[in-house]
């Protein structure tokens, strides 16, 4: 999985979580479990990214925090949703901040670097 795919999955999860801010009563434990499973898929994608151990473990720890919050509802629903949103945004920012090869999308090739594989989506 590429960095762009990881970012798209995080965006999709963020959109699902933010949809519940309008009606927090609709957020159930089954929904939380489904979101946690989707975050687990993102974690698998992060494990496959060509990152050093430190940054990779940092991103994985953030995603683990989001899963932990979803499984332990000690907060009000709105606080829980906002906390998960913030954690996922930080994880996305950490992935986006790395210059990683990205296969899909538009490829920008700079004349000084013929082998540039940084796509426009990841910038």
58-79 confidence digits (pLDDT tens):
999 999 999 999 998 788 999 9
Backbone region of residue 105 per phi and psi (left: phi > 0; alpha: psi in -120 to 50; beta: other values): left
| Burial call 40-54: b when 16+ CB within 10 Å, e when fewer | eebbebbeebebeee
Query: Are the C-beta atoms of residues 39 and 63 closer than 8 Å to each other?
Result: yes
Regarding pTM above 0.95, the answer is no
CA distance 47 to 44: 5
């Amino acid at each position: 999985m590429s960095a762009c795919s990881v970012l798209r999955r995080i965006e999709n999860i963020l959109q699902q979580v933010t949809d519940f801010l309008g009606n927090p009563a609709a957020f159930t434990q089954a929904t939380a479990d489904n979101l946690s499973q989707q975050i687990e898929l993102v974690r698998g994608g992060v494990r496959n990214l060509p990152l050093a151990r430190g940054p990779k473990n940092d991103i994985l720890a953030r995603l683990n925090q989001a899963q932990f919050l979803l499984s332990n509802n000690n907060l009000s629903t709105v606080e829980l949703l906002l906390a998960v949103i913030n954690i996922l945004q930080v994880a996305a920012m950490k992935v986006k901040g790395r210059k990683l090869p990205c296969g899909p999308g538009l490829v920008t090739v700079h004349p000084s670097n013929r082998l540039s594989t940084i796509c426009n989506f990841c910038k």
